[in-house]
């Protein structure tokens, strides 16, 4: 029998100046492993109390109190008709660890290019946690004028800032419950963006630092597709799309061979470039000489009337870089985007027919992505893997995923329902 001494782990880490977010991630992994061992030692047909404990372990990653376990057992026992124990799973979600650890570790990899969980709390992660806690339509994640900050009653040393992450690090290091002390505010009221320029986590400071910093802003689209459509550019590659909006910086004969462009490059850029055009007015500004990592930088946006010195328009200079690579390529004039993937092989992502597939700016483009069936399927799959500690492996698992996608839609895209159904399903895992 393997005994995981979590207190010993915490003692070791507390003896050294390790960041709390690192400790949280390690403790979460240990607790999840312990939960898995507990499941392995059980039987497929667990009793009500054992099933309740497994559900709580899956949801919160920590053991339930005796009172909570009693209440969950009663929920399961009373649910004689369907025996789905969903109400018990919602009881488990009242534990603060669901927000402080489970949800944080789900969302943290979405906030950085390394896709690491070992990062401090930030406005992107906090907003994911808040939207789940408040049962908000999760599609708002990519388009809403919303950000979650620490409650002012905490009197944290640092308020929300567009130029650093200190507010969230204070919140996390202070050990304050994210379930109890996150509050929703209009993003436009704290980061200076016009309401129409806000796009949920896409215009959060954390996302800007990771995906608008330097580069060409294609990273923001690529990682959004990867994190929220569960498709990277390799999966979305479609060489049959029209290449008329591929920018000048993309060589049409890389290495002197035009076949590479026609059979490879065009497949990503023909769809990505017209979508990434929605970010044409955004940048991440920082002191490259004194702060090369951009720790103290901020999101920047060219509003109506602003003119970039390089482009002579609202378009950021980065959209005109390396124009001589192919001078006959597309010159970005504004932030009007178009989804070329509504036709061709990527129709399989099931775009919302009520939307037009074109628009201006990040907000409408975020809606385009979030209203696709691919977005719903991706969120459900990520929650399933987070709760069940594995990917779907057979037809039964895939049928469960399909069922949860339908359920997710039926409850107006509230992610708690997906956590509950995943925990109940996987509580029976051997």
Q: What angle do CA 302, 306, 310 make, to 5 degrees?
A: 85
**Cα–Cα distance between 416 and 424 in angstroms, integer?**
12
Mean pLDDT along residues 354-364: 98
Q: Are 381 and 392 in contact (CB under 8 A)?
A: yes
Helix boundaries (H) for 251-371: 258-260, 266-276, 361-370
Q: Which of 23-27, 99-103, 370-374 has the lowest mean pLDDT?
A: 23-27
pLDDT digits (tens, 9 = 90+) for 339-350: 999 999 999 999
Quick one: tokens of 342? 């509504």
Write down the pLDDT at residue 79: 65
The mean predicted confidence, pLDDT, of the chain is 91
pLDDT at 315 over 80: yes
Does the pLDDT of residue 55 top 70, yes or no?
A: yes
Asked if 351 and 368 touch (Cβ cutoff 8 Å), the reply is yes
Using CA of residue 424, residue 406, residue 95, residue 59, what is the dihedral sign? positive
pLDDT above 90 (res 91):
yes
Amino acid 82: pLDDT: 55
Q: How confident is the model at residue 429 (pLDDT cuts 50, 70, 90)?
A: confident
pLDDT of 351 > 50? The answer is: yes
Please name which of 337, 368, 375 lies closest in space to residue 353, comparing C-alpha atoms.
Answer: 368
pLDDT attached to residue 37: 44
pLDDT value of residue 167: 98
Residue 182 has pLDDT above 80, yes or no: yes
Choice between 5 and 116, residue whose per-residue pLDDT is larger: 116
What pLDDT, on a 0 to 100 scale, did the predictor assign at position 83? 58
pTM, two decimals, is 0.89
CA distances, 222 to each of 91, 357, 391 (Å)? 37, 18, 22
Read off the pLDDT of each residue in 23-41 and give the average, rounded to a whole number. 47
pLDDT of 11 reads 42
pLDDT at 158: 98
User: What is the mean predicted confidence (pLDDT) over 309-328?
Assistant: 97
Q: Is 215 helix (H, G, I), strand (E, B) or coil?
A: coil
Instruction: Kindly indicate the confidence band of residue 46, based on its pLDDT and cuts at 50, 70 and 90.
Output: low
* Averaged pLDDT, 330-334: 98
Does position 34 have pLDDT exceeding 80, yes or no? no
DSSP of 304-322, one letter per residue? TT---TTTSSSS-GGGGTT
- Is the C-alpha dihedral spanning 37, 43, 45, 48 positive or negative? negative
pLDDT of amino acid 22? 55
Q: Is the pLDDT of residue 42 over 80?
A: no
Give the pLDDT of residue 44. 44
Tell me what pLDDT residue 185 has: 98
pLDDT at 15: 44
Q: Does residue 166 carry a pLDDT above 70?
A: yes
* Closest to 107 in 3D by CA, of 86, 140, 132: 132
Q: What percent of the chain has pLDDT over 90?
A: 86
pLDDT, residue 113, reads 98
pLDDT in tens, 107-146: 999 999 999 999 999 999 999 999 999 999 999 999 999 9
pLDDT for 99 equals 98
> Tokens for 388?
């069940």
pLDDT digits (tens, 9 = 90+) for 214-271: 999 999 999 999 999 999 999 999 999 999 999 999 999 999 999 999 999 999 999 9
CA of residue 43 relative to chain centroid, distance: 34
Q: What's the confidence (pLDDT) of residue 428?
A: 79
For range 194-210, the mean pLDDT: 98
Q: Are 63 and 53 in contact (CB under 8 A)?
A: yes
Nearest CA to 182 out of 158, 219, 153 is that of: 153
């Amino acid at each position: 029998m393997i005994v995981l001494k979590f207190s010993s782990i915490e003692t070791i880490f507390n003896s050294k100046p390790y960041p709390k977010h690192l400790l949280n991630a390690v403790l979460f992994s240990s607790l999840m492993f312990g939960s898995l061992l507990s499941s392995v030692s059980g039987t497929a047909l667990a009793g009500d109390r054992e099933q309740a404990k497994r559900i709580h372990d899956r949801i919160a990653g920590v053991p339930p109190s005796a009172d909570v376990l009693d209440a969950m057992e009663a929920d399961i026992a009373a649910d004689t008709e369907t025996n789905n124990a969903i109400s018990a799973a919602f009881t488990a979600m009242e534990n603060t660890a669901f927000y402080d650890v489970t949800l944080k570790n789900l969302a943290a990899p979405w906030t950085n290019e390394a896709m690491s969980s070992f990062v401090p709390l930030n406005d992107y992660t906090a907003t994911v946690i808040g939207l789940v806690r408040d049962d908000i339509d999760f599609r708002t994640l990519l388009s809403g004028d919303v950000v979650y900050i620490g409650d002012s009653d905490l009197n944290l040393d640092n308020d929300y800032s567009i130029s650093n992450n200190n507010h969230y690090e204070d919140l996390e290091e202070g050990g304050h419950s994210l379930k109890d002390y996150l509050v929703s505010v209009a993003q436009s009221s704290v980061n200076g963006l016009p309401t129409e320029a806000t796009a949920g986590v896409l215009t959060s400071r954390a996302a800007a630092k990771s995906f608008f910093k330097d580069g060409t802003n294609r990273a923001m689209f690529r990682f959004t597709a990867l994190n929220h459509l569960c498709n990277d550019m390799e999966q979305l590659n479609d060489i049959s799309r029209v290449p008329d909006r591929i920018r000048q910086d993309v060589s049409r004969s890389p290495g002197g061979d035009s076949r590479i462009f026609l059979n490879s490059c065009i497949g990503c850029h023909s769809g990505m470039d017209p979508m990434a055009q929605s970010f044409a007015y955004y940048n991440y500004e920082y002191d490259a000489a004194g702060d090369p990592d951009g720790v103290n930088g901020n999101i920047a946006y060219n509003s109506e009337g602003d003119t970039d010195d390089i482009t002579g328009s609202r378009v950021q200079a980065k959209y005109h870089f390396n124009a001589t690579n192919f001078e006959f390529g597309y010159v970005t004039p504004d932030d009007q985007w178009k989804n070329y993937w509504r036709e061709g092989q990527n129709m399989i992502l099931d775009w919302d027919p009520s939307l037009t597939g074109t628009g201006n700016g990040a907000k409408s483009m975020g809606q385009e992505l979030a209203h696709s069936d691919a977005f719903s399927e991706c969120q459900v799959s990520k929650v399933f893997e987070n709760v069940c500690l594995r990917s779907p492996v057979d037809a039964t698992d895939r049928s469960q995923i399909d069922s949860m996608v339908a359920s997710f839609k039926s409850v107006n895209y509230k992610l708690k329902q997906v956590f509950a159904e995943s925990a109940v399903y996987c509580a029976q895992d051997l």
